[in-house]
Amino acid sequence: EPWRAYGFAAKMTYAGFALSGSYANNGKSGYFKGSTSQPVLSTDKEHSYTAGLQYECGPYTIGYNYAHMRTAGDTTKIGHDKADVYAGGATWKAAPGLSLYLEGVASRRKLKEHTHSNTNSMALLGSRVDW
């Protein structure tokens, strides 16, 4: 399959709100599957998309983002991999050049033929200094 990949993104802002999203399509990526002695082109389509919403009011910003990916994954196996990522966070600009933030991320991943799947989550508390 010839390479036919494309993607686009957009962002709209209004009164402190920002809405954004993106989409990428790698089509039938041309990856091989099967054994190295008998390779066959993968017919699995690859794509991804994201969506995010953010609100900023004075020194405070809150936001949420979602991402979905479907890839050929391990091309020696039939099928495709999927992943979903959910993220949210808040930032406070405590002083000029100093920001404090809290983020949370959760993900769910399913590998081919239901051979393996997992969920993960994490929280991050941090600061940023600009000078």
The pLDDT tens digits of the residues spanning 56-68 come to 999 999 999 999 9
pLDDT for residue 6: 87
Computed over every residue of the chain, the mean pLDDT equals: 85
Name the pLDDT band for 80 (thresholds 50, 70, 90): confident
DSSP state of 16: T
Which pTM value belongs to this model? 0.77
Q: Which residues contact 55 (CB under 8 A, 6 or more apart)?
A: 16, 17, 18, 61, 62, 63
Structure confidence at residue 81 (pLDDT): 82
pLDDT above 80 (res 78) = no
Reported as type and span, the H/E element at residue 100 is strand 98-110
Over range 36-51, report the average pLDDT.
Answer: 75
